[in-house]
Amino acid sequence: MTQHRVLLAALLTACATGTVWAQKSTAEGIAEYRAMLADGNPSDLFEAKGEGLWQQKRGPKNASLEQCDLGKGPGVVKGAFVELPRYFADTQRVQDMESRLLTCMETLQGFNAAEIARTPFGRAEQVNMTALAAYVSAGSRGMKFNLPNNTVQEKTMYEVGKRIFFARSGTHDFSCASCHAEDNKRIRLQDLPNLTKNPGAGNGFGAWPAYRVSNGQMWGMQLRLNDCYRQQRFPYPLFGSDATIALGLYLGVNGKGGESIAPAIKR
């Protein structure tokens, strides 16, 4: 009888330590898996396609995007991504990368921006938008986030972004903060970055656009935020809306000094 008790105790101890051990090596195992995927990122395919689209004459005006001003002057791609979202005098708006690309597609190439904004992700011109986003973000690979955030419009949008981030709403009373305002949180095996400050903000913001292996899709920040809205049971946010831009600005400013790894590869 005592023998059984001892055996049982030993077994339980073994199981307990076994669980702890398994958890530790699971995190390491996943890190190893991610490292294996890093070389050979299908984002490269989208980046290459985006580069072609940037140079190609398209649209009713049969023009390329090579004069597009992403904030650092017409045609300057290098370093543009890590300074977005920012204020643009010509549109009098704070814009993120994708809404700015949309502006250029309309003004330079003659595309109908409202129609593209209404187009679901993964269809028609949205496919090209994603490729362009991958290309533009690649132009800042390895650079540090340095959003100017020095105009009254940007500072206002930052505050708007912060309010939206913490506002609980929808059927489940969720907010971005429900998942992303504390350290060391996770959903199942996914670590949730704390987006209110670095390193989480820089890591989180600098990881999109990214290729998601789970669905083989390339996602820009607009789609990433759109899906966050869906997960929180919020209404569908309009593409390039002030709400999504404000959130992007909030993340980008919080992530100042963080390194951009976009276009990245994700689960």
Partner 1 sequence: MGDPMRIRAQAAGSNATVRVLMAHEMETGQRKDAAGKTIPAWHITDVSATHNGKPVLSAEWGPAVAKNPFLQFTVKGAKAGDKIAVSWKDNKGDTRTDEATVT
Partner 2 sequence: MPTRRKALQHSATVASLLAVTGLFPGIALAFNAKAFEAKNLGDALKALGAGAPVESKDVTVTGPDIAENGAVVPLGASTTLAGVKQLLILVEKNPNALVAMFNVTDSVDANIATRAKMGQSSDVYAVAVLADGRSLFARKEVKVTLGGCGG
CB of 223 to partner 2, least distance (A): 12
Footprint (CB under 8 A) of partner 1, residues 112-141: none
Q: Decide if residue 6 touches partner 1 (CB under 8 A).
A: no
Q: Decide if residue 18 touches partner 2 (CB under 8 A).
A: no
Which of the choices partner 1, partner 2, none does residue 192 contact, using the CB cut-off of 5 to 8 A by kind?
Answer: partner 2
Which of the choices partner 1, partner 2, none does residue 58 contact, using the CB cut-off of 5 to 8 A by kind?
Answer: none
Give SS3 for 198: coil
85: cis peptide before it, omega within 30°? yes
Which of the choices partner 1, partner 2, none does residue 49 contact, using the CB cut-off of 5 to 8 A by kind?
Answer: partner 1
Cα separation, 183 vs 26, in Å, equals 20
- Specify the residue, 103 or 128, whose C-beta has the smaller distance to partner 1: 128
Give SS3 for 94: strand
Using CA atoms, how far residue 22 sits from 13, 105, 110, 192, in Å, is: 14, 51, 57, 21
- The DSSP letter of residue 144 is B
CB of 263 to partner 2, least distance (A): 14
Q: Is 228 one of the annotated active-site residues of the chain?
A: yes
Cα separation, 259 vs 132, in Å, equals 20
Which of the choices partner 1, partner 2, none does residue 44 contact, using the CB cut-off of 5 to 8 A by kind?
Answer: partner 1
Write the interaction track for partner 1 spanning residues 195-234; mark x where CB under 8 A is met and - where it is not.
----------------x-x--x------------------
Q: Decide if residue 48 touches partner 1 (CB under 8 A).
A: yes
Give just the sign of the alpha carbon dihedral 29, 191, 207, 265: positive
Using CA atoms, how far residue 6 sits from 9, 15, 16, 181, in Å, is: 5, 14, 15, 46
Binder among 50, 71, 204, 263 for partner 2 (CB under 8 A)? 204
Host H or E run for residue 187: strand 185-187
Residues lying near partner 1 in the complex (CB under 8 A) are found at 39-42, 44-45, 48-49, 211, 213, 216
